[in-house]
Amino acid sequence: MAGKLRNVYICSECGFESAKWYGKCPTCGAWNSMSEEVRQTSSQQKATVSPRGPYSRPVPIREIDTNEEARYHTGLSELDRVLGGGIVKGSLILIGGDPGIGKSTILLQICGFLGKTLRILYVSGEESGRQIKLRAARLGVDSENLYIMTETDVQAVVEQIRADKPDLVMIDSIQTMNFTDLSSSPGSVTQVRECTNAIMRAIKALEIPAFIVGHVNKDGAIAGPKVLEHIVDAVLYFEGDRQMSYRILRAVKNRYGSTNEIGVFDMGEFGLRQVENPSQMMLSGRPVHVSGTCVTCVMEGTRPILAEIQGLATTSGYGNPRRMSTGFDYNRMSLILAVLEKRAGYYFSNLDAYINVVGGLRLDEPAADLSVAMALISSLKDAPLRENAVVFGEIGLAGELRAVSHAEARVYEAARMGFERCVLPFHCLKQISQSSIPIELVGVKTVREAFEALCE
């Protein structure tokens, strides 16, 4: 199949193709994202990449059978929650994360559970059969229905799927797969896109669910074009600090469920263990009688989780004070500092200010505002807050405290974890049926009142 070779430039962010190089992609505006690939201009090549037919026919919507919507449970209820209740048949799920975070481990654990009843094809382009077997032994995975295929040629994988029709397919990882007919190297935009498309066509036709592992690039996005995220049904990210043992699984796209849910795991000697009580984990090792630390309750999907916020305000050594925030939006922090200064009389303008959310959680809820303010004020005044108190609430630009959703769930979580006082916006009290609350509720209207209610 000797075709003429030509060079194309492809944007690794959006997949835009052009005959010439651009410093900035004209379609998505990404800088320095165009990479060169060699392509054959034969018409046959197109035919191998996208084979024609069989075509589908229109069906009246009333005749479409939905009974098949049953989901496979993975044996990990934290994962089921993130997927929206389990694996939907025929769905393609992309799972991304840094190297060594545990992607292969979680896939093998799913195989261990589902392999008792289903036939599973595990395709690995990264590890040898022996390495996978060793890991499986460590995880206690020993299923006679689990087949390991070490292969990087995607056409061989697709043929195997069509011939064997397994119940579940794992591809580890998509960046190692390649189409031998395409001249670009594995991991390039074209290869990743075409391999995903080929696998998707195969599994959709046979209604087989599949997981594919995707590596992330240095910006934390799944390497390859954004179109990859558009092709698949669900995109899950595995996050966490390599130094710490816990891992958070988060859905950023899900056609069959909510994207708010998170799953919490703990990486141990024998693989990933589910964490059923994340609040306890997030608060373990919390310092007491120290200024600048505060506990809040955030909602991750439908689940309330307690988190510790730490703030530090120190004299600035330079002309421009530094502001840094980990786990909380930087701009939101600046806004809170401005409100504290203008509306509440706490002056930070010549101080460096730092915020850290302990445990690697990312708080993107306005309900965390008040706790950020409390941690900063506590550090500013060097006054420790009550160790048995929880606080939440949104801060408005006028310095007022605004009600937030799910107040009752948050309060109950605080009570369940043994906290004795909850400081919350006054307007939230209406949401809570006061009769049987096992915790003292203090409704406040301003930041200053909140601080006074929290002081020891």
Query: Which residues lie near ligand TYD (CB under 6 A)?
Result: 97, 99-105, 135, 138-139, 267, 269-271
CB of 105 to ligand TYD, least distance (A): 3
291 binds, among Mg ion, ligand TYD, none (CB under 5 to 8 A by kind): none
Output 97 or 304, the one with its CB closest to ligand TYD: 97
CB of 83 to ligand TYD, least distance (A): 18
CB of 272 to ligand TYD, least distance (A): 8
Measured distance CA(263)–CA(41) in Å, rounded: 46
Residue 104 sits in the site that holds Mg ion (CB under 5 A): yes
In a 10 Å sphere around its CB, with 0-12 CB exposed, 13-18 middle and 19+ buried, how is residue 182 labelled?
buried
Q: Which two tokens stand for residue 415?
A: 């009570």
Output 95 or 121, the one with its CB closest to ligand TYD: 95
Measured distance CA(155)–CA(132) in Å, rounded: 22
Residue 188 sits in the site that holds Mg ion (CB under 5 A): no
Measured distance CA(181)–CA(230) in Å, rounded: 24
Residue 384 DSSP one-character state: P
Measured distance CA(434)–CA(412) in Å, rounded: 12
Residue 185 DSSP one-character state: P
Q: Which residues pair with 229 in a beta bridge?
A: none
Output 122 or 412, the one with its CB closest to Mg ion: 122
Cβ-closest position to Mg ion: 104
271 binds, among Mg ion, ligand TYD, none (CB under 5 to 8 A by kind): ligand TYD
CB of 108 to Mg ion, least distance (A): 9
CB of 140 to ligand TYD, least distance (A): 10
CB of 357 to Mg ion, least distance (A): 28
Could you tell me how many residues of this chain bind Mg ion (CB under 5 A)? Answer: 1
Output 240 or 327, the one with its CB closest to ligand TYD: 240
Measured distance CA(182)–CA(253) in Å, rounded: 29
Listed ranges 53-61, 104-112, 254-262, 429-437: which one lies at the site for Mg ion (CB under 5 A): 104-112
CA 350 to chain centre: 36
Output 151 or 266, the one with its CB closest to ligand TYD: 266
User: 63-67 long-range CB contacts below 8 Å, 24 or more apart?
Assistant: none
SS3 415: helix
Residue 109 sits in the site that holds Mg ion (CB under 5 A): no
Question: Cβ distance 74 to 87 under 8 Å?
Answer: yes
CB of 241 to ligand TYD, least distance (A): 12
Listed ranges 63-71, 100-108, 110-118, 388-396: which one lies at the site for Mg ion (CB under 5 A): 100-108
102 binds, among ligand TYD, Mg ion, none (CB under 5 to 8 A by kind): ligand TYD
Output 135 or 402, the one with its CB closest to ligand TYD: 135
Contacts with 414 (C-beta within 8 Å, 6 or more apart), sequence order: 297, 306, 390, 422, 439
In a 10 Å sphere around its CB, with 0-12 CB exposed, 13-18 middle and 19+ buried, how is residue 329 labelled?
middle
- Which residue in 395, 296, 294, 298 sits closest to 342, CA to CA? 395
Output 66 or 243, the one with its CB closest to ligand TYD: 243
Residue 178 sits in the site that holds Mg ion (CB under 5 A): no
In a 10 Å sphere around its CB, with 0-12 CB exposed, 13-18 middle and 19+ buried, how is residue 140 labelled?
exposed
Burial state string for 400-429 with b = 16 or more CB within 10 A and e = fewer than 16:
bbbbbebbebbbbbbbebebebbbbbbbbe
138 binds, among Mg ion, ligand TYD, none (CB under 5 to 8 A by kind): ligand TYD
Output 247 or 332, the one with its CB closest to ligand TYD: 247
Output 267 or 447, the one with its CB closest to ligand TYD: 267
CB of 152 to ligand TYD, least distance (A): 16
CB of 135 to ligand TYD, least distance (A): 5
Where does this chain bind Mg ion (CB under 5 A)? 104
